Amino acid sequence: METPENEIFRDSISTVTEEGKRAWVYPKKPSGKFYEYRKWVSYLLLAFLFLSPFIKINGNQFLLFNILERRFNIFGFPFWPQDFYLFVISMIIGVVFITLFTVAFGRIFCGWICPQTIFMEMVFRRIEYWIEGDRGKQLRLAKQPWNAEKIRKKGLKLLIFLFISFLIANVFLAYLIGSDQLIEYITDGPTSHISTLISLLIFTAVFYFVFAWFREQVCIIACPYGRLQGALLDNKSIVVAYDHKRGESENGRKKFRKNEDRDALGYGDCIDCFQCVNVCPTGIDIRNGTQLECVNCTACIDECDHIMESINKPKGLIRYASEDNIENKTPFKLTARMKGYIAVLTILIGLLTGMLFLRNEVEATVLRLPGQLYEHKDNNIISNVFTYKLVNKTNKDISDVSFKLLSHKGELKLVATSDDFTVPKQGMAEGTLFIEINNMVLTGDRNKIKIGVFKGDELIETTTANFLGPRRFR
Ligand code: SF4
Ligand code: SF4
């Protein structure tokens, strides 16, 4: 079946030509109220992104995701692999929150907060406008042969892009290995840390590829969140939308003619000037309706508002609105689906808050040494050997640490260390210990024992382990 003419746009994507080649998008430089707001939001987010690894709270990096050493700091709070459950709940909260937000407000995150859009539209694209000029000049430059002007402009642009990609790669590394480590590597000289240097160059190449070449295709083709829109949006979601009722009226859109009474002739307010298409960084025509490619960047709202102003029509032909709002003037209200997400989100946040309060600052694990049975000693004493691991999540050394057996009368002996020791701040102590209990006290071949971790006389953590003994025959 042939595609109806007004649906043809669905058969192709804006970044690929009919021959299957890359269609470069040269968007017009946006201007207007929303673009100004977005600039301020981007300055804040860029400052946050670049400064976070260099801000310290109680000596902890504000944000750190050291996957290799399994150390994570979130807002200055250190987290360990032992806190993985908190990480999982935070991730679930993040997913539910984004889902709720998307159901209510569409892809607003992409246009205002996503680092890809912030860097692409607010950093790289603005440098491009500065060097190559606005859309018209960029198009002319692309078509002209490689003369001195083109080589100079393209060369300068790509050099600056490369430098910024290198800068982003350094900040990215500061999140991964820590800013102190990064500064140390820089002062040592990059050749002293060849593997880190190679990683840095790979990151630089990836960022350069994304922002100089791949660009808006990240949002159109690669981003999984973009793909989810089809499942999450409905007629009640507020998105950047063209008011087709007003724009098309009874007889459709039509070019503007001075002194023509469009209302009397039944034409809509859209004067088919294509400015909303020219300004779109993903190269789409928002008048075709909500599309997966739309990152809700608001550039077309600003541009259409300028046009409406110039022809003395009310602004807002393209605006934040839901399909229901455009069709029936229905105001925004919470749907049952949104209420459901809010309920789940509230429960999860409550759960996470409770777990954060209950989270131990010291975590002890005592496990029986694998492959070892019990030993039957003199005086009917049964001995088991264990390994222990003590994690100190605080910023202070914990000294005078000792173990005591709480559940049974017996003896606990540490191997190769004194009975009280120190666990370094944000560090770990591990080793081996023996526990000896009289066979008379044991109730079976598997006995659950409770061990206390003390700082001086203060009990700071308890843990349990299995203690093996001889099998009982009746
Ligand atoms: S900018 Fe406004 S008037 Fe111009 S084509 Fe787009 S919707 Fe129509
Ligand atoms: S359609 Fe409008 S809001 Fe969507 S990406 Fe294009 S310019 Fe941005």
- CA–CA separation, 48 vs 118, rounded Å? 12
Q: What does each C-alpha distance from 368 to 2, 286, 371, 446 come to in angstroms?
A: 71, 64, 9, 12
Q: Which of 242, 277, 286, 307 to mutate to test the pocket of ligand 1 (most atoms within 8 A of CB)?
A: 307
> Could you tell me which of 117, 129, 95, 111 has the C-alpha nearest to residue 228?
95
Q: Which of 28, 246, 275 to mutate to test the pocket of ligand 1 (most atoms within 8 A of CB)?
A: 275
The percentage of residues in the chain with a pLDDT greater than 90, rounded to a whole number, is: 59
E runs forming strands in 22-171: 56-57, 60-61, 63-66, 71-74, 77-79
395, pLDDT greater than 60: yes
The percentage of residues in the chain with a pLDDT greater than 70, rounded to a whole number, is: 97
The average pLDDT across 17-25 equals 85
Predicted local distance difference test score (pLDDT) of residue 405: 93
State the closest ligand 2 atom to the C-alpha of 297, by its place in the atom list counted from 1.
8
- CA–CA separation, 289 vs 245, rounded Å? 12
Q: What burial letters (b/e) apply to 234-258, b meaning 16+ CB within 10 Å?
A: eebbbbbbbbbeebbbeeebbebee
Global pTM value = 0.80
Ligand 1 close to Cβ of residue 134 (< 6 A): no
Q: Which of 300, 305, 318 to mutate to test the pocket of ligand 2 (most atoms within 8 A of CB)?
A: 300
Q: What does each C-alpha distance from 96 to 99, 196, 321 come to in angstroms?
A: 5, 36, 23
Strand duo 446-455 + 458-468: pairing: antiparallel
343, pLDDT greater than 70: yes
pLDDT in tens, 152-195: 999 999 999 999 999 999 999 999 999 999 999 999 988 888 99
Report whether 140 contacts 147 (CB < 8 A).
Answer: no
Which ligand has its closest atom nearest to the C-alpha of 273?
1
The average pLDDT across 396-404 equals 89
State the closest ligand 1 atom to the C-alpha of 300, by its place in the atom list counted from 1.
1
Which ligand has its closest atom nearest to the C-alpha of 38?
2
Ligand 1 close to Cβ of residue 270 (< 6 A): yes
Predicted local distance difference test score (pLDDT) of residue 19: 81
- CA–CA separation, 299 vs 318, rounded Å? 10
Q: Which of 244, 284, 309, 318 to mutate to test the pocket of ligand 1 (most atoms within 8 A of CB)?
A: 318
Domains and CATH numbers, the chain: 1-359 (no CATH), 362-468 (2.60.40.10)
- Give Cα 187 distance to the centre of its chain: 30
State the closest ligand 1 atom to the C-alpha of 271, by its place in the atom list counted from 1.
3
Residues with Cβ within 8 Å of 342's Cβ and at least 6 positions away in sequence, in order, are 100, 334
Ligand 1 close to Cβ of residue 299 (< 6 A): no
Ligand 1 close to Cβ of residue 274 (< 6 A): yes
The average pLDDT across 441-465 equals 91
- CA–CA separation, 262 vs 249, rounded Å? 10
104, pLDDT greater than 90: no
| 383 Cα–ligand 2 center, Å | 71
| 317 Cα–ligand 2 center, Å | 13
> Could you tell me which of 430, 454, 424 has the C-alpha nearest to residue 59?
424
> Atom 4, ligand 2: which residue's CA is nearest?
294
Ligand 1 close to Cβ of residue 303 (< 6 A): yes
State the closest ligand 2 atom to the C-alpha of 293, by its place in the atom list counted from 1.
5
Q: Which two tokens stand for residue 341?
A: 């997400």
| 268 Cα–ligand 1 center, Å | 11
| 273 Cα–ligand 1 center, Å | 6
Task: Pick the more confident residue, 332 or 41.
Answer: 41
Q: What burial letters (b/e) apply to 67-79, b meaning 16+ CB within 10 Å?
A: eeeebbbbebbbb
Q: Residue 9 — pLDDT band, cuts 50, 70, 90?
A: low
6, pLDDT greater than 90: no
Predicted local distance difference test score (pLDDT) of residue 217: 92
Q: Which of 28, 273, 294, 305 to mutate to test the pocket of ligand 1 (most atoms within 8 A of CB)?
A: 273
474, pLDDT greater than 60: no
Enumerate residues lining ligand 2, CB below 6 A.
Answer: 240, 279-282, 284, 286, 294-300
List residues bridging with 453 in a β-sheet. Answer: 403, 461
State the closest ligand 1 atom to the C-alpha of 269, by its place in the atom list counted from 1.
3
Q: Residue 352 — pLDDT band, cuts 50, 70, 90?
A: confident
The average pLDDT across 314-342 equals 88
Q: Residue 34 — pLDDT band, cuts 50, 70, 90?
A: very high
| 426 Cα–ligand 1 center, Å | 58
Ligand 1 close to Cβ of residue 276 (< 6 A): yes
